[in-house]
Amino acid sequence: MSKILAFTNQKGGVGKTTSTANIGAGLLRAGKRVLLVDLDPQANLSKGLGVVKAEKNVYGALLQEYPLKAYPAHGMGLIAGSPALSGFEKVKGDELDREFLLKELLEPIRGKFDYILLDCPPALGLVTLNAYACAQELYIPLEAQLYATDGLEMVLGLVSRVQRRLNPELIVGGIFFTRHDARKVLRRETAEQMRAQHPELVLNSFIRESIALGEAPHLGKDIFTYAPQSAGATDYQALVAEILTR
């Protein structure tokens, strides 16, 4: 049975989608069978791996319009995203057990994969609740800068409620810093402050600022394929190794 990891942050632009794609690619390199699920209405995970305008996506599957379809993406499976996900709450908000629709959708295929990675939207709505309700672990990418802790505390508060009401097995697997530059005093001090506040959650690995990480999705590639010698590849390889030990 696969382990389901959700990558989440209430704040956008923190490298959540980049992390989902590259951690998935790193797990594949470690010999794991990997499925990625694009739950963000922007569908950047799908676009960044070369799956554009997919005929069958996660939104239609959640609405039971057609069976779940995984597209091939560099050796991984990818369930494509859709802009229509932004209306998911309006369509399903009054439905009984609406928080478990994604769990029910993924359950029949869990045996085919070692890891299922969920790229959550930058909002704490019904789509994110569905992700939390079926995940075993959450990973929170974060920039070590002013106001970063605000989004983190909102996520941790929601996790606590989900643990009580929907998914008692859910844990926070870890927090990791993205676009990190230890030479900048504010980033270094913020990182140290957060490590002091959440010593059991902040991972040792962090992702440095890297031009290659921004370039790779434009060519439909992960960082290991695009720039295997880059700082981004080195950092994500270390992060994957740490995740595998948790």
Q: How confident is the model at residue 10 (pLDDT cuts 50, 70, 90)?
A: confident
Total number of residues shown for the chain: 246
Q: Looking at residue 187, which CATH number applies to its domain?
A: 3.40.50.300
Judged by average pLDDT, the poorest of 29-38, 179-188, 198-207, 236-245 is 179-188
Query: Average per-residue pLDDT in the chain?
Result: 93
Q: Check if the beta carbon of residue 76 is closer than 8 Å to that of residue 25.
A: yes
Backbone angles phi, psi at 178, to 5 degrees: -115, 165
Whether residue 162 is predicted with pLDDT greater than 70 in this model: the reply is yes
Domain total in the chain: 1
Whether residue 165 is predicted with pLDDT greater than 70 in this model: the reply is yes
- At residue 180, the pLDDT reads 77
Q: How confident is the model at residue 204 (pLDDT cuts 50, 70, 90)?
A: very high
Rounded to an integer, what distance in angstroms lies between the CA atom of residue 180 and that of residue 129? 28
- Give residue 116's domain range: 3-244
Higher pLDDT, 58 or 193: 58
Quick one: which of 194, 183, 58 has its CA closest to 131?
58
Q: What is the mean pLDDT of residues 31-54?
A: 95
At 97-141, the pLDDT tens digits run 999 999 999 999 999 999 999 999 998 899 999 999 999 999 999
Q: In the chain, pLDDT over 70 holds for what percent of residues? A: 98
| Sole residue written with tokens 């439909």 | 220
Q: What is the mean pLDDT of residues 183-198?
A: 81
Q: Check if the beta carbon of residue 35 is closer than 8 Å to that of residue 194.
A: no
Edge-first strand order for the sheet with 3-7 is 71-73, 76-79, 34-38, 115-119, 3-7, 137-142, 171-177
Q: What is the mean pLDDT of residues 170-183?
A: 89
Higher pLDDT, 47 or 193: 47
Whether residue 84 is predicted with pLDDT greater than 80 in this model: the reply is yes
- At residue 148, the pLDDT reads 67
Whether residue 146 is predicted with pLDDT greater than 70 in this model: the reply is no
Q: Check if the beta carbon of residue 178 is closer than 8 Å to that of residue 206.
A: yes
Q: How confident is the model at residue 187 (pLDDT cuts 50, 70, 90)?
A: confident
Judged by average pLDDT, the poorest of 35-44, 145-154, 235-244 is 145-154
Rounded to an integer, what distance in angstroms lies between the CA atom of residue 117 and that of residue 169? 17
At 26-37, the pLDDT tens digits run 999 999 999 999
